[in-house]
A and B are shown apart, each in its own frame.
Chain A
Amino acid sequence: MFKKILIANRGEIAVRVLRACHEMGIAAVVVYSDVDRAALHVRKSDEAYPIGAAAATESYLNIEKILDVAARSGADAIHPGYGFLSENAKFAQACAAAGVKFIGPTPAAMKAMGSKTRARQAMEKAGVPSVPGTSWGVESVEEAYEVATKIGYPVMLKAAAGGGGKGMRLVHESGQLKSALEAARSEAERSFGDSEVYLEKAIINPRHIEMQVLADEHGNTVYLGERECSLQRRHQKVLEEAPSPIVDPDMRRRMGEVAVRVAQAANYTNAGTVEFLVDAEKNFYFLEMNTRLQVEHPVTELITGLDLVHLQIRIAAGEKLPFRQEDVQLRGHAIECRIYAEDPDNNYFPSPGRITLLLAPSGPGIRRDSGMYEGWNVPIDYDPLLAKLIGYGEDRNQAIARLTRALSEYFVGGIKTNMSLFRRILRDADFRAAKLDTGFLDRMLTRPKETLHDSMSAEVAAIAAGIFAVLGSASGASSGTPDRSQAVDGSVSKWRSASRREVLR
């Protein structure tokens, strides 16, 4: 087993991996940029190394600097988390060359899955169902017209190197195809440095369901059940759950077996996720494979009882999978909310700044993976994910009830968060009925927001405002019990002046 692992990431995922290291008796080395000295992952680490400026290219994306820290600290493995260098085959290659184990798949498997068109070609060979379309980049407008006519409109244009909705265009009819192709190409070039765009039949409002796989380095591959990730805004996942409300044991087995076939076709090792689009008739189509630990991995952990990061580390250390497919049993239901520093009242614009007050939920069935703390300044430079709040219950209704309860306990002051969005989702009738698809959130957000608080809350606020003013703590300037506080105008309270007189006497 490894003695020391370098975590090449930041935020909640760096803390998540760090916890696994400590649970396994492994020292955790972290890296941080100039604006992250006070970040939680640095506070909790065993060794921490500065690696440069805030811009990710100067720090968390800088392969040379990270490998230099690995050498200086004597780390024998690197966990990349998600994002940053996690799906960078060059980085995995460089780790191998430097004699440090990369906790993830081989560079060859990453390359095979890194390009969506190449992945589609490999999957066609392996007999994996994909959405009708091209498994190559479209060369010309004429070719695009020809393919689109053959498979029928609407069609979707997608960047081969893409992700996160960049370089994607939905085309309803042939008149839009030319300009959409040009726009998708230039956006793909700008975002990924690669203008390759392919075309496939658009499945309108599909479900997005993904299958977790795990493969050791001895040829054993298992699937750990699916996650329903249909709740997205601008193609970014917002809330995920496991199991999917529409997947029955037979469909799970069929999807799982396809996912295992996908992984094996790429000689895949370690943790990975095979994403599928599912249409209204429950047909599923291979979308892509994510060659990393996913943000939403906790929901799978809760319903399988497995620790995916522990398993990633054990697999990377050369151990065999400690269980077989038939040992994997799903139990209960888990739902994850991604808490972002963004303002729901200002079009979800990022909201960095100082966290002045943090009240964290706990209690039965609640898990919180967080990278923030009270007093911390959320930097402006990175992804706004602050924490993940996960509710677990014996069934979906109990998971929803616990999550709703936990959200009422959770408070983050000083910055804006999207927590009100989750309160809305969790009480939405369609969500409760599990009528989910990728268009769900856009539809919900166009409906007017219902205001829940009654006029009494305003009166409560008015009374509280006065009491805060009397106690002089509304500004957070003083603490302690009410009777000791300073009055709001800066004058010293009677109790205090009295006690001062006592002392002076």
Chain B
Amino acid sequence: MLYDVTINGKSYKLELTHVDGSWSCRLNGRDFEVDAVLARPDVLSLRIGNRAYEVKSERVANDLHLWVGSARFAVEVRDPRSLRGRSHAGDDHGPRKIIATMPGKVVRLLVREGDEIEAGAGIVVVEAMKMQNEIKSPKKGTVQKILAAEAATVNAGDVLAIVE
């Protein structure tokens, strides 16, 4: 298998083959001796050479993170042969979804559809556990659509608005 892996924004080319429980692994052209056991779902016991690592996988909404020890990495995995390759998260062109990063209640809408906004402008205020958090636009543009309603409960990953 050939993968494009992005770790905290940095790209890696990864070749993996898995035959009869043993792995061969090449990362950015370098060979690694790898041995892996899935201890339980989302927990991988990994040996690279004789160094042992416990790696935890965490998926919230569409975001995937891996933890190596106490270090957390934002991860994207793409199979180049697959047609389902995802667009780059850092892409500034085209519409961008404004997503709730945590569950909460929408207490205020700060913009209206059609508003011209700057990058960093507040779009909605979401309250959770008695604290209010302003969710900001990642880009300059026009508010194309507002999907959040005041007083509505939202879940992590819900689309609150779209900025074009």
Spell out A's residues near B (CB within 8 Å). Answer: 341, 343, 346, 349-353, 356-357, 359, 380-384, 407-408, 411, 413-416, 419-420, 423, 452-453, 457-471, 473-476, 478-483, 485, 488-489
Given A461-B55, A467-B34, A481-B38: A453 touches B5 (CB 8 Å cut-off): no
Q: How far is the CA of A481 from the CA of B53 in the complex (A)?
A: 18
**Interface size, chain B (Cβ < 8 Å):** 57
B69 at the interface (CB under 8 A from A): yes
Among B36-75, those with CB < 8 Å from A are 36-38, 40-44, 46, 48, 53, 55-60, 64, 66-71, 73, 75
Most chain A beta carbons < 10 A, residue from B41, B44, B73, B77: B41
User: Across the interface, which residues of A come within 8 angstroms of B103, CB to CB?
Assistant: 352-353, 380
15 other A-B residue contacts (CB within 8 Å) besides A457-B69, A468-B77: A341-B129, A346-B133, A356-B60, A415-B102, A416-B102, A453-B69, A461-B68, A462-B27, A464-B66, A466-B16, A466-B25, A470-B1, A475-B59, A476-B59, A488-B79
User: Across the interface, which residues of B come within 8 angstroms of A462, CB to CB?
Assistant: 5, 7, 12, 14, 27
Q: How far is the CA of A423 from the CA of B71 in the complex (A)?
A: 11
- Could you tell me the distance in whole angstroms from the C-beta of A471 to the nearest C-beta in chain B? 6
Neighbour of A350 across the interface among B60, B68, B128, CB < 8 A: B128
- Could you tell me the distance in whole angstroms from the C-beta of B89 to the nearest C-beta in chain A? 15
- Could you tell me the distance in whole angstroms from the C-beta of B158 to the nearest C-beta in chain A? 12
B90 at the interface (CB under 8 A from A): no
Q: How far is the CA of A480 from the CA of B32 in the complex (A)?
A: 25
Most chain B beta carbons < 10 A, residue from A383, A415, A474, A489: A474
Complex: chain B residue closest to A384, CB-CB:
B129
In the complex, the answer to whether B42 meets A356 with C-beta atoms within 8 Å is yes
In the complex, the answer to whether B43 meets A460 with C-beta atoms within 8 Å is no
Complex: chain A residue closest to B155, CB-CB:
A353
In the complex, the answer to whether B129 meets A464 with C-beta atoms within 8 Å is no
Neighbour of B68 across the interface among A353, A382, A464, CB < 8 A: A464
The secondary-structure label for the interface of chain A is: mixed
In the complex, the answer to whether B10 meets A458 with C-beta atoms within 8 Å is yes
In the complex, the answer to whether B38 meets A382 with C-beta atoms within 8 Å is no
Neighbour of B70 across the interface among A408, A415, A478, CB < 8 A: A408
Closest 7 CB pairs of A and B: A350-B129, A453-B71, A464-B55, A413-B58, A461-B73, A380-B128, A462-B12
Count A-B pairs with CB separation below 8 Å.
175
Q: How far is the CA of A415 from the CA of B129 in the complex (A)?
A: 14
User: Across the interface, which residues of A come within 8 angstroms of B40, CB to CB?
Assistant: 479
B104 at the interface (CB under 8 A from A): yes
User: Across the interface, which residues of B come within 8 angstroms of A349, CB to CB?
Assistant: 102, 128, 131, 133
Q: How far is the CA of A419 from the CA of B71 in the complex (A)?
A: 12
User: Across the interface, which residues of A come within 8 angstroms of B56, CB to CB?
Assistant: 357, 359, 411, 413
Given A466-B1, A485-B38: A423 touches B70 (CB 8 Å cut-off): yes
B149 at the interface (CB under 8 A from A): no
User: Across the interface, which residues of A come within 8 angstroms of B77, CB to CB?
Assistant: 465-466, 468-469, 474, 488
Q: How far is the CA of A64 from the CA of B77 in the complex (A)?
A: 55
- Could you tell me the distance in whole angstroms from the C-beta of A208 to the nearest C-beta in chain B? 23
User: Across the interface, which residues of B come within 8 angstroms of A353, CB to CB?
Assistant: 60, 102-103, 156
Q: How far is the CA of A479 from the CA of B23 in the complex (A)?
A: 19
- Could you tell me the distance in whole angstroms from the C-beta of B102 to the nearest C-beta in chain A? 5
Complex: chain A residue closest to B12, CB-CB:
A462
Given A470-B1, A474-B59: A460 touches B129 (CB 8 Å cut-off): no
User: Across the interface, which residues of A come within 8 angstroms of B133, CB to CB?
Assistant: 346, 349
In the complex, the answer to whether A466 meets B32 with C-beta atoms within 8 Å is no
In the complex, the answer to whether A463 meets B46 with C-beta atoms within 8 Å is yes
Complex: chain A residue closest to B153, CB-CB:
A380
In the complex, the answer to whether B41 meets A473 with C-beta atoms within 8 Å is yes
Neighbour of A463 across the interface among B14, B59, B131, CB < 8 A: B14
Neighbour of B69 across the interface among A357, A408, A471, A474, CB < 8 A: A408
In the complex, the answer to whether A460 meets B41 with C-beta atoms within 8 Å is no
In the complex, the answer to whether B10 meets A356 with C-beta atoms within 8 Å is no
Most chain A beta carbons < 10 A, residue from B3, B38, B56, B71: B38
User: Across the interface, which residues of B come within 8 angstroms of A356, CB to CB?
Assistant: 42, 58-60
User: Across the interface, which residues of B come within 8 angstroms of A359, CB to CB?
Assistant: 43, 56
- Could you tell me the distance in whole angstroms from the C-beta of A34 to the nearest C-beta in chain B? 13
User: Across the interface, which residues of B come within 8 angstroms of A413, CB to CB?
Assistant: 42, 56-58, 67
Q: How far is the CA of A69 from the CA of B18 in the complex (A)?
A: 59
In the complex, the answer to whether B16 meets A467 with C-beta atoms within 8 Å is yes
B29 at the interface (CB under 8 A from A): no
